[in-house]
Every structure is written in C-alpha cells, then in structure tokens.
A and B are shown apart, each in its own frame.
Chain A
Amino acid sequence: MNTLVLEQTDRGDVVFDVYQKLAHERVLFINDYIDSRLAADICATLMLKNFEDPSLKISLLINADGADVRSVFTIYDTMMIVDAPLETICVGAAMEEVVLILAAGTKGMRYATKNSVICPSQLLHDASYQTDLTDAKSLLDNVKYDNKQFITALSKCVGKNYSTVMKDLERKKFMNANQAQKYGIVDFVMEGKKDV
C-alpha cells in the first residue's frame, strides 16, 4: 500500500514517506513482528530524537503480535537510556514479550486504547535447533537467564515484586485494557476523542 505523500516546500515538490514525517513529529510505530532490523531502526531513531531534543516527548504506537527476544531487549535498553519522556500507546495488541516495551514508558504516560488486547507471559523460546545435549544445555541456560531478566524488568515497570509476576505469568494471561491498567502495565485507558 502506498505510504508516500507529496508536499510542496520552498525547494519544490518533495516526496515523503508518511512514517518519516511522523518521525519528525517524534511519533514512532512498532508494528507486526519485531525483528532485529526494526529494533535497530527504532533504537537509532530514539537515540537521534533524544539527541535533537531531550526534553520533548517521543511517542511509540505499539501494535505488535510477537517479537524476537533480543529485539525487545534492544528497544527496552534504549528506552532506559534516553532522557526524553516516552509515551507508549497500545493500539490493537501487545502480545507476550512486547508488553515490556509498553510497560516501560514513562510513568503516567502509558496508554492503551479501549479495545486493545494485552497479553503478558514469560518468555517463549523462539528458535528451534537440532543440537546435541551440551549445546542444548547452554541454550537452555541462556533462555532461563533471559527469562529472569525479562521478569525483573517487567516487575520493575509494573511495580510488583519479582515472584508475584513470575507466578502470575506462568501461563499467558489475556487482559483487556482495564485489566492491564489494574495490573500496572498502563496508566490510562484511552476512550473517545481525548487529547493526548
């Protein structure tokens, strides 16, 4: 689908990609499946916007149905480093690992739209290998460590302690926007035409 728009500037007609124009206004989209390419793009743009003006807020619109584990950590670590206030808005869905990105926005600036679906869970191992026992053990240790880091980060963002969150998320937990607000993942539910 076309996402290019034509604009008339003092230098003549210039073609913009709508997403680039929005990035100028400090609005970033996180869509579909988050692979490492998108994660690095978001990381680069966050660092750039932070460098240009560390006091203006940056908005992340999230509608992702899954993510590569490392990509989630890339975006999360970058969010922790930037000084600019970060507003996260879940429009649609935030599944499994992506919930960390939604919950990691600046406190008081995390939203979910009324009909969105938020579904936190512990990390799923997202690759299948055929290996021998020694390699499998080292992979398993790595996944366990990642899971521990993930739950630690998420529990810090929602304000609950580690073992509570670990126990709650043993299975995938489907939440609607109101339940997510109660749990501490978002601060407000967006209904109707409110000003953001």
Chain B
Amino acid sequence: MFKHKGCNHDMHGSHQSDRYAETYIKLSAARVIFINEDITKEAASSFSAMLSYYEQQSKTEDIFVYINTNGGDSAALVHMYDVMQMVKPDINTICIGKAYSAGSVLLAAGTKGKRSAFKNASIMLHGVQLMFPPITEIDQPNSNNYFNFVKSHNDRIMQILSNHTGKDVETIKKDCSRDMYLTPKSAIEYGVIDNIL
C-alpha cells in the first residue's frame, strides 16, 4: 500500500487536478481506474496503459473501472474496448453518475455479472454521431466513402452492444437511432448492467 504522507509537487496527472492526484495514486493500489473525462485518444492511451500495468501486476485479481463521461470519439472508444477484452483479469465497470454515448458501450463491456451503476445514475445509448459538414478535407467524389466508412463503423459498435446486452443487432440499431436514456433499472432489463449499488 502506498505509504508516504505527502505528494511531491512533481507528481501530478496530466488531466486531473493536483488537488486530488494523491487520491487516485492511492486508489491505483486497489486496481481502480476512473474515467471522468471525455473519451479522447489521450484518455484511450492512459486507459490502456493503466490496464496493461494492472495486468502485469496480477493476471487474476479484478480491476475496477468507474465511469462518469459524456462520451466522445468513437475511434478512441474502439481502442479502449479492444484493450478491455484483451486483458486477462475480470473488469468490473461501475457508472457513478452518467455514462452517455461511448461511455455506455464501455459500461456494457465489463465482465458479465460485474457491471453496475449507482442508484441515481443515468445511461444513454445512441449510434455513432458525426459532424456535418465533415471537418476533414474530403473531396466531393470521396464523401461517399466517408459516409460508408462511418456506417460500417456504426455497424461494428452496434454489434459490440448486441454482444454484451444479448439483444439482436436490429433491435439495438432501432433503439439507438434516437438518444435513448435509461434509468439503472431499465438498464438492467436492457442488459447494459447487471446490478445497482
């Protein structure tokens, strides 16, 4: 267990305030990861680094991921999802406030039986959203390619949700065509989580 009483000024996380850095350092001894930011490529690389570290420390003890996001980039989401499925220890996911769009997929992707949410948490599912008009430089002839790519990416994420909730892909696509807000009880029925804390 982390024993020192103070925290040197040099040790601060890149995205978390200095004030609470020590809390997270101590919690890391208990194999805890907090996702309380938007899901970006920086978050994805920090997440996969922490998971790899915990797997190296012990291949059998559970890992705990606390989720409180608005969602984010779908490429980062797929990165985090793949790493979650790759590591050997069981991953407990807990929604502590909100798990919207990409966050809901991460919540559902925990080990079956070990996915939970707080009593007053909120979960929202929807399909991949894109900016229109597209920001990247895409010429007219290629824009079809871009939309087809996003469509296939969406299909992949819908398939992920279907695997973890147990519902078939058509139902998921239909439900996620609009923002679908779930209370924790409805989320258990839908198959996103398993119990309420």
Contacts and interface: CB of A to CB of B under 8 A. Distances in A.
Give the secondary structure class of A's interface.
Answer: helix
B119 A77 contact: yes
A78 interface: yes
Interface residues of A, number: 43
Contact of B6 (A16, A37, A73, A78): A16
B12 to A, nearest CB: 9
Contacts of A139: 179, 181
B156 to A, nearest CB: 24
A65 to B, nearest CB: 19
Contacts of A36: 36, 68-70, 97-98
B181 A20 contact: no
Contacts, number: 115
A44 B34 contact: yes
A76 B96 CA distance: 10
Contact of B97 (A24, A48, A70): A70
Interface string A153-164: 100000000000
Given A73-B121, A77-B96, A44 B20 contact: yes
A76 B9 CA distance: 31
Interface string B28-68: 00101010110000000000000000000000000000101
Nearest to A4: B9
B179 A135 contact: yes
10 closest cross-chain pairs (CB), A and B: A40-B36, A74-B97, A77-B118, A73-B120, A41-B20, A14-B6, A70-B98, A142-B181, A70-B97, A15-B9
